[in-house]
């Protein structure tokens, strides 16, 4: 029998060659890998807004009869509706929650929307888009750097292909984002008013809590809706980054205003005093201020206190509408 003998050098070469071939067979072509990476980037969906996730959670928790999908300039959003427990309803109250609150927030908004129907009022609580504060990051899209430099030996076509791409459009500024946010909020209030009018409400009252009170005031000052003649503000908070001061907005309103604030806070008392003095200078006899006691240790009593004061203001201002 003939035996083939290989030197150690030949064996080493064969081993390296077989390893290289096996490795090359396991790796996909470079072009296919690049396509897969590009597809993964293209299929990545944008993150949902926190307010939209909260609305989806409410849809799972609450009865379908309470839910209304309203249209805000082509964008659907969730609103919570409860009809008045009265054969002759007094009207409808549209509630605007503050930042970080849902349409059924356990403090203030949720209890009010449940209590108002027992007082003869429809309640419609709107979910608002995520807040846009003062420190929004401004992202500017940068063109990718050219990987190939044109040389004298390259053809004109290759040199043109190697030139960097023209700069892409920059991302919108923080001011533009906030301006768009104002329009989104106003569109939802428009949709809420239209729905209340469809229910043949005798009176439509706008009620805002926290930063929702700011949006209610700004809407009344800038849009001046004929359908709303009563405005309720609870614990007013100016959202960060928006330049229109609440006092300047209040000076433009002729509707009846109920200003409910918590007098336990020195800051809240001073701000309330400024609003009262403004109403006196502007001769707004329909501006009424009501001081409340904060009861953090007994939220149920605090909610009932707020509701009774609000109901008293509504009955006085609207005459009961019976």
- Torsion sign across C-alpha atoms 203, 209, 211, 217: positive
The DSSP result for 198-216, as a single string, is HTT-S-EEEEEETHHHHHH
pLDDT tens sequence across 75-105: 999 999 999 999 999 999 999 999 889 999 9
* pLDDT of 13 over the 60 cut: no
Q: Phi-psi category of 321—alpha, beta or left, where left has phi over 0 and alpha has psi -120 to 50?
A: left
Predicted pLDDT of residue 50: 81
Q: What is the largest CA-CA distance in the chain?
A: 121
* pLDDT of 205 over the 80 cut: yes
Secondary structure of residue 143 in the 3-state scheme: coil
Task: Considering only residues 39 and 197, tell me which one the structure prediction assigns the higher pLDDT.
Answer: 197
Query: For the residues 106-135, what does the mean pLDDT come to?
Result: 91
CA 21 to chain centre: 57
Task: Considering only residues 133 and 166, tell me which one the structure prediction assigns the higher pLDDT.
Answer: 133
Predicted pLDDT of residue 87: 94
> Which of the listed ranges 48-52, 118-122, 138-142 does the model predict with the highest average pLDDT?
118-122
138's CB contacts (< 8 A; 6+ apart) are 171, 173, 174
Q: Domain 50-130+175-321: which CATH class?
A: alpha beta
**Quick one: tokens of 233?**
């503000």
* pLDDT of 10 over the 80 cut: no
* pLDDT of 150 over the 50 cut: no
Q: How confident is residue 175, by pLDDT bands cut at 50, 70 and 90?
A: confident
| Strands of the 204-209 sheet, one edge to the other | 67-72, 75-82, 121-126, 91-96, 204-209, 228-234, 256-262, 287-292
* pLDDT of 21 over the 80 cut: no
Q: How confident is residue 180, by pLDDT bands cut at 50, 70 and 90?
A: very high
pLDDT tens sequence across 275-317: 999 999 887 778 999 999 988 889 899 999 999 999 999 999 8
* pLDDT of 55 over the 90 cut: no
Q: What is the mean pLDDT of the chain?
A: 82
φ, ψ dihedrals at 315, nearest 5°:
-65, -40
Predicted pLDDT of residue 45: 55
Boundaries of every domain in the chain = 50-130+175-321
Predicted pLDDT of residue 142: 43
Share of the chain above pLDDT 70, in %: 73
pLDDT tens sequence across 209-261: 999 999 999 999 999 999 999 999 999 999 988 888 999 999 999 899 999 99
């Amino acid at each position: 029998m003939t035996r083939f003998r290989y030197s150690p050098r030949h064996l080493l070469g064969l081993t390296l060659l077989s390893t290289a071939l096996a490795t090359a067979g396991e790796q996909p072509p470079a072009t296919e890998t690049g396509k897969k990476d590009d597809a993964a980037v293209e299929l990545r969906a944008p993150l949902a807004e926190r307010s939209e996730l909260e609305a989806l959670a409410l849809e799972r928790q609450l009865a379908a009869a309470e839910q209304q999908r309203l249209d805000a300039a082509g964008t659907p959003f969730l609103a919570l509706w409860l009809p008045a427990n009265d054969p002759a309803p007094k009207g409808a109250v549209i509630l605007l929650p503050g930042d970080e609150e849902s349409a059924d927030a356990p403090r203030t908004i949720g209890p009010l929307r449940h209590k108002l129907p027992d007082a003869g009022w429809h309640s419609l609580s709107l979910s608002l888009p995520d807040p846009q504060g003062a420190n929004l990051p401004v992202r500017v899209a940068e063109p990718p750097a050219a990987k190939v430099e044109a040389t004298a030996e390259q053809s004109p076509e290759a040199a043109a292909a190697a030139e960097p791409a023209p700069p892409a459009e920059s991302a919108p500024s923080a001011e533009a984002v906030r301006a768009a946010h104002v329009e989104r909020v106003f569109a939802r209030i428009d949709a809420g008013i239209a729905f209340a009018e469809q229910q043949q409400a005798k009176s439509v009252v706008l009620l805002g809590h926290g930063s929702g009170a700011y949006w209610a005031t700004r809407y009344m000052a800038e849009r001046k809706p004929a359908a709303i003649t009563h405005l309720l503000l609870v614990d007013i908070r100016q959202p960060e980054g928006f330049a229109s001061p609440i006092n300047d907005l209040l000076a433009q309103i002729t509707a009846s205003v109920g200003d409910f604030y918590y007098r336990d806070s020195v800051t809240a008392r001073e701000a309330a005093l400024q609003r009262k003095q403004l109403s006196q200078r502007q001769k707004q006899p329909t501006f009424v201020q009501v001081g409340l006691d904060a009861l953090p240790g007994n939220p149920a009593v605090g909610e009932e206190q707020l509701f009774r004061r609000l109901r008293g203001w509504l009955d006085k201002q609207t005459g009961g509408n019976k």
